Homo-oligomer: A and B are copies of this chain.
Amino acid sequence: MTEVDQVENDDYEDDIELDQPRLRLVQKAIDARDRMALDDLLEPLHGADIADLIEQITEFQRLTLVELWSGNIDGEILSELDEGLREELLSSLPAEDVAEAVRELDTDDVVDLIENLDDQSQAGVILGALDDADRVAVEQALTFPEYSAGRLMQREVVIAPSFWTVGQAIDHLRTAEELPEQFYHVILTDPRMRPVGHVTLGKILSSPRDMPLADIEEDSFRTFEATDPEAEVAYAFNQYHLISAAVVDEDDRLLGVITIDDAMSVLDEEAEEDILRLAGVDSEGSLSDRTLGTVRRRFPWLGVNLVTSILASLVIAQFDAVITEIVALAVLMPIVASMGGNAGTQSLTVAVRALATRDLTGANVWRVIRREVMAGLINGVAFAIVMGIVGVIWFGNPMLGAVIGVAMVINLGVAGLAGVGIPVVLEKVGVDPALASGAFVTTVTDVVGFFAFLGLAALWLL
């Protein structure tokens, strides 16, 4: 036993993670064109780690790696790569290597590979490499809308007639020619290929052979239509703890199956997209973008911000006479605007996330708005007192302290209202609240902040 164990232990402990020292050694081996060292360093790595490695080295190192490495850029590595780099690499690989790489993949991964290619001739090479059944499956998947369940599903399914017993299912599985890489349920179908339930493999394994499959069905069975948006699918997987779910056409016939790892990627991408959009970054970007791609991706939001900050400046311009009189106003006014902007961003981020997770609905929106406004007002009073004191000490003018304090309370209250109200309204009219709320909310808090502060100053100080 000990002998065997040792070997097995070695076997899995070989599969090590990519760390910084190893990455540096790989770069050294590439720069020195040391093929043997490169092979030794890459061999124990998982495909996902090799993809990460390829993303982190320079373009020149990438090309040398492809040339030197005796291993292959396989389907797994391609699936894991950033979209931009994937295309770069596909075009530098010989067509037969690409063909071999894609043949190992499940159909959903091939769809993922093809749908993001700008270069249609590469798509042709990939489709040409597949056998007929897979090609038809991929081409059919591509007829479904982008980001739909139909694109996400794999065609490889394991089914059994709903009247079968456990023994029949096991015998069928033992003699099946080709089974999916990973599967977790046997889907029960009626004679028209409509899925009517599913059984976990654990239940099949632990039940007697004469047990009817229909008697050990899971409660959790749910189906999706191929045209359902992938975001809905991911939400349902997360909400109902699904492991796999059948996908059907408009006549309820079985088309394929979506598994939890696909749903996990979608959920991950959605959260990533929300984070980046909240910061005004176009979500298609990635770390391996080049400078000009980055410039293009950042420009639109900065443009929107320029317009909104000019709006705020127009408000200030109305009060130029007051500022000339009391220059302390120019010194203090950014504080009021900045506090409002920050409080508004806090509220809007909470609201955008709650909308995304469906926690903020018609049933509680007024309660949440009331809470945010109240919280804004209470924090406003606290900071009003602090800033009132700072104003008096700094400029020796109690009325100036009163002006900044009252403006602060007003702006933080408005920030709470706008922070929840604007995302909710945007969602209602069908605009992604993560993308557009920031611009609107900071415009409101800038304009209200400057107007309240300078307006009160004009009334009380002149």
Contact = CB atoms under 8 A, between A and B. Distances in A.
Interface stretch (A94-102, A118-126, A145-153, A346-354): A346-354
A317 B331 contact: yes
Contacts of A176: 206
A52 B235 CA distance: 13
Contacts of A78: none
A366 to B, nearest CB: 11
A137 interface: no
A285 B350 contact: yes
Contacts of A239: 46, 48-49
Interface stretch (A35-43, A62-70, A308-316, A425-433): A308-316
Copies of this chain, how many? 2
A306 B335 contact: yes
A93 interface: no
A205 interface: yes
Interface string A373-393: 011001100110011001000
Interface in A167-194: 170, 173-174, 176, 179-180, 182-184, 190-191, 194
A176 B205 CA distance: 11
B274 A275 contact: yes
A335 B302 CA distance: 11
A460 interface: no
B57 A280 contact: no
A230 interface: no
A359 B55 contact: yes
A54 to B, nearest CB: 11
A317 to B, nearest CB: 5
Contacts of A339: 302, 305-306, 309
A386 to B, nearest CB: 7
A379 B291 CA distance: 11
A174 B206 contact: yes
B371 A290 contact: yes
A458 to B, nearest CB: 14
A307 B57 CA distance: 40
A55 B197 CA distance: 31
Nearest to A174: B206
A164 interface: no
B349 A197 contact: no
25 contacts: A1-B190, A5-B162, A8-B196, A9-B196, A20-B363, A52-B358, A57-B363, A57-B364, A184-B243, A260-B264, A264-B267, A267-B267, A271-B275, A275-B349, A276-B353, A279-B348, A280-B346, A281-B349, A291-B374, A302-B343, A306-B335, A309-B335, A312-B338, A313-B334, A330-B333
In order of increasing CB-CB distance, the 3 nearest A-B pairs are A279-B349, A201-B201, A271-B271
